[in-house]
Structure formats: structure tokens, C-alpha cells
Amino acid sequence: MSYDDYVIAGLDIGTTKVCAVIGRVGEYESIDILGVGSSPSKGLRKGVVVNIESTVHSVASAIEKAELMAGIEIKSVFAGIAGGHITSRNSKGVVAVSTRSHEITPAEVERVIGAAKAIALPMEREVIHVLPHEFVVDSQEGIKDPVGMTGVRLEAEVHIVTGAMASAQNIVKSVNRGGYAVNDIVFEPLASALATLKDDEKELGVVLVDIGGGTADILVYQNGSIRHTGVISMGGNHVTNDISIGLRIPNQRAEEIKRKWGIALSEITDSEEMIEIPSLGGRKPAVMPRQVLAEIIEPRMEEILFLVRENLESKDIKDTLSGGVVITGGASLLEGTGKLAERIFEMPVRIGIPSGIGGLVEEVSSPEYATSVGLVLYGLSMKPEGFTDNRDAGLFSNIKRRMVGLFDEFF
């Protein structure tokens, strides 16, 4: 079934901003970006919704902005999930091929994935993703798609991502109360990876690090599939806090200064360069060397990147990543981040910007949009069965839509 013209929306509920991206499926299953909307996020801490009311406002505002730009009303989104509650592990499942001819059908694959997914989970946790690495048919290893092959024993190796049920429910609640349905919940770095990584990097082995405001999310590909995921509960907001404390200025000022003059590596800073720090209450602005700012920022960025490195080393995967490191997320906009990371990882590093899309590409060409663009691409990979078609959503009036949201919540 062709689904050209279908409309898919991604919603990244981040610690600092909520961002909605609307895309249309074009010819050859490409995505054209139609609209983008962003709104400051107030109801989250370290990637987790802690205040539904504030989150609902940010969600509604971001989606409405994107809808306005796209000239389309949507009714459902693929929403991101992140935070320290996310854990992951590898698992295996085995089944006997029960078809008469011993030919493996999609039903067999579904069954073996079901077996691999059957892990003991505490009541309050749920499985968010089951990501197959490879299949083994009898003793033949390294099979990506076993459908159509013949064998008696089918084994699946998968990576399972789990999260706190309450966190997922709070995301769904916030989106529903804004008047929208949720097609699926997606682990945020998985979305960012879809938007920024190239196929050859995934084959060679690559680590994606998405440094946002509250968390740094890690995702590792080896031989084309996801092998490891992790979350570090530290991000760009910690850098801002350090500046605020170090320079004794309010947080908002510190954020502005970081974006304007921030640099992650003091030794590439011109020692002569002076910057102006606006003072409060009409006093004269303070002038100081940019190097001082760099010396506040560098240790924190170093700490975040060291924690990522440690995480990789603890899993023994750091030495198998010939594709290097891709850093994305808003914090990667900080000058010198790539260079500092190269030193810490001792590997080539690049900054990941959404690619492989058409339409309003300029509007999303920043690491800040990697997750939201990736959520649309994730939606695309779900094929039409996995999402509500948004094309006719314009027929819904806002009131009716909001009622749908309420029904979703109560039933």
C-alpha cells in the first residue's frame, strides 16, 4: 500500500523545549518537512515530566505553531521519552519453526521476538522498544531478515529498552490533554540517531551522544544494529548553572552569555578577547576575558563527556567504534564541543544535524531538532499501520479534537 501524502508528526518533550515537527510522506518514502514549532518547556526535570499542567501548555503551543506553519491540523504524534529511569539490556529468544515446510514467516519472527522480550520486569516498568540485532537460523548467524529462509530453530538477539510506566503515562496524559493522540512512544536518542547517523557509520560502529538541557543520552550501533543505550543525568543546564554561580548572575543571563560567547575548550580561546557581561539595575556592564568563561564551562563539559566515555568503557564497546562519535542535541552547539570530545574519546567526532529530509530543511538544520525530526522518521518506519493518518485531521474542529483527547485519557 502506498502512503504518499500521509502526514506524520513528531513531538520532542525536552527538558528545555518542546518541539513539534510535521512531515509529509513523499515519493519513494521520503519525508518533506512542512512545519516546525517550538515552545519553552517548564514541566520537566532531567528529561521527565514532573508537572503535567505546564507540559500540556508547552505541548499545545509547540504543536499549534507547527500546524500554523504547515497549514495542517494534526491529530496524533510520535512522542519522545528519555530520562534516568530508562534502562536497557540485550536478550535472546528461541523458537521452533512450526510451519510445515519449515519456511520462516513473519509470524515466526514475531513469535521469536516475543520470546526474547519475555524478561522479568518489576510491575512499575514497561518495555519501550525491542530492537533486533540479528537472527540465527539453525547454526547460521548474522541474519538480518530471516523471512523466507528454511530451518527448524530460529533464534533472535535483541536489545530491550525499558522505562518507568508512570513516566510514559505522564507523557501520554500531557499530549492527550493538549487534544492529541499518541501513536507511539520512542526513546529519544533512537529518534536522534535516525535523523543524524549514516548507514556506513552504523555498520562500522558509532556512538551517538545527544546532549540536551537535562540529560546526555547514549546510543551505540554495531554491525548496523543497536547494541547499547544509556542515559547520563547531566546536560547543558548544568553548564548554565555553573556560569550563573561562577559569575554571580541570574540563570537567564548565564544562558544568554553561554549561547553568545560560550566555548568548551579554554586553550582554543583567544586570551586577549574580552566580553561584556550585562549588569543588573542599570549599572555599567562588567568586562572580562572570554577565557574566564571558557574555564567555567570546560570542566562541566569534560565531566559530561567523561561520564559518557566511562559508560562505554564499562560495556567494553569503546574500542569497537570505527565510525567514531556523533554528538547532537542543543548543547553540541557550544563552540569547541567537537574538539573537546575528540580529545576525551580519542576518536573522530562530528556534530550531528538532521539529514535525509526535504521540504523546510533550513528550519530544522540544527542539532536541537535531531530528536523531533527523528521522531517523524521513526513514524515513517512504522508504515501506515503504525500511525493515524493525519491528512484528514483538518476536518476535526478543535473542540471535537480536545474531546477525543479527554476520552483517550479516561478510557
Ligand X SMILES: Nc1ncnc2c1ncn2[C@@H]1O[C@H](COP(=O)(O)OP(=O)(O)OP(=O)(O)O)[C@@H](O)[C@H]1O
For Mg ion, what does the binding mask look like between residues 166 and 195, x meaning CB under 5 A?
Answer: ------------------------------
For ligand X, what does the binding mask look like between residues 93 and 132, x meaning CB under 6 A?
Answer: ----------------------------------------
DSSP string, 187-207: EHHHHHHHHH--HHHHHH-EE
**Using CB under 5 A, which residues numbered 288 to 307 contact Mg ion?**
none
* Residue closest to 389 by CA, chosen among 1, 2, 8: 8
User: Cα angle vertex 386, ends 147, 92, to 5°?
Assistant: 45
**Using CB under 5 A, which residues numbered 350 to 389 contact Mg ion?**
371
Between the CA of residue 158 and those of 126, 231, 323, what are the distances in Å? 16, 19, 22
Tell the smallest beta-carbon distance from residue 231 to ligand X (Å).
9
Integer Cα distance of 325 and 305 in angstroms: 11
Under rule CB under 6 A, residue 262 binds ligand X: yes
Nearer to Mg ion, 336 or 374 (CB): 374
Tell me, what amino acid is at 32? D
* Binding piece for Mg ion, criterion CB under 5 A, among 14-22, 127-135, 136-144, 304-312: 14-22
**Using CB under 6 A, which residues numbered 216 to 245 contact ligand X?**
235-237, 240
For the chain, state the CA radius of gyration.
Answer: 23
* Binding piece for ligand X, criterion CB under 6 A, among 123-131, 162-170, 208-216, 392-400: 208-216
Under rule CB under 6 A, residue 258 binds ligand X: yes
User: Cα angle vertex 315, ends 311, 316, to 5°?
Assistant: 115
Which entry of Mg ion, ligand X, none binds 262, CB below 5 to 8 A by partner kind? ligand X
Task: Please identify which residue in 47, 179, 338, 379 interacts with ligand X, judged by CB under 6 A.
Answer: 47
The dihedral of CA 388, 393, 395, 399: what is its sign? positive
User: Cα angle vertex 85, ends 345, 224, to 5°?
Assistant: 50
Nearer to ligand X, 157 or 335 (CB): 335
Under rule CB under 6 A, residue 338 binds ligand X: no
Tell the smallest beta-carbon distance from residue 168 to ligand X (Å).
15
Integer Cα distance of 243 and 323 in angstroms: 34
Integer Cα distance of 83 and 234 in angstroms: 10
**Using CB under 5 A, which residues numbered 195 to 254 contact Mg ion?**
212
* Binding piece for ligand X, criterion CB under 6 A, among 52-60, 166-174, 211-219, 277-285: 211-219
Nearer to Mg ion, 14 or 336 (CB): 14
Residue 339: half-sphere exposure toward Cβ, Cα within 13 Å: 11
User: Cα angle vertex 267, ends 261, 268, to 5°?
Assistant: 55
Task: Please identify which residue in 10, 163, 179, 212 interacts with ligand X, judged by CB under 6 A.
Answer: 212
| 150-183 residues labelled b (16+ CB within 10 A) or e (exposed) | ebeebbbbbbbbbbbeebbebbbbbbbbbbbbbb
Under rule CB under 6 A, residue 215 binds ligand X: yes
Which entry of ligand X, Mg ion, none binds 237, CB below 5 to 8 A by partner kind? ligand X
Strand 216-222 vs strand 206-211: parallel, antiparallel, or unpaired? antiparallel
Nearest 10 degrees: Cα torsion 374, 356, 363, 385: -40
Tell the smallest beta-carbon distance from residue 193 to Mg ion (Å).
13
Under rule CB under 6 A, residue 333 binds ligand X: yes
Which entry of Mg ion, ligand X, none binds 330, CB below 5 to 8 A by partner kind? ligand X
Residue 151, C-alpha cell as written in the block: 530451518
List Cβ neighbours of 64 (8 Å cut-off, separation of 6 or more).
37
Under rule CB under 5 A, residue 14 binds Mg ion: yes
256 in helix, strand or coil? helix
Under rule CB under 6 A, residue 67 binds ligand X: no
Tell the smallest beta-carbon distance from residue 239 to ligand X (Å).
7
Tell the smallest beta-carbon distance from residue 83 to ligand X (Å).
8
Which entry of ligand X, Mg ion, none binds 17, CB below 5 to 8 A by partner kind? ligand X
Tell the smallest beta-carbon distance from residue 18 to ligand X (Å).
8
Contact residues: Mg ion, CB under 5 A: 14, 212, 371
Contact residues: ligand X, CB under 6 A: 12, 14-17, 41, 47, 82, 212-215, 235-237, 240, 255, 258-259, 262, 329-331, 333-334, 368
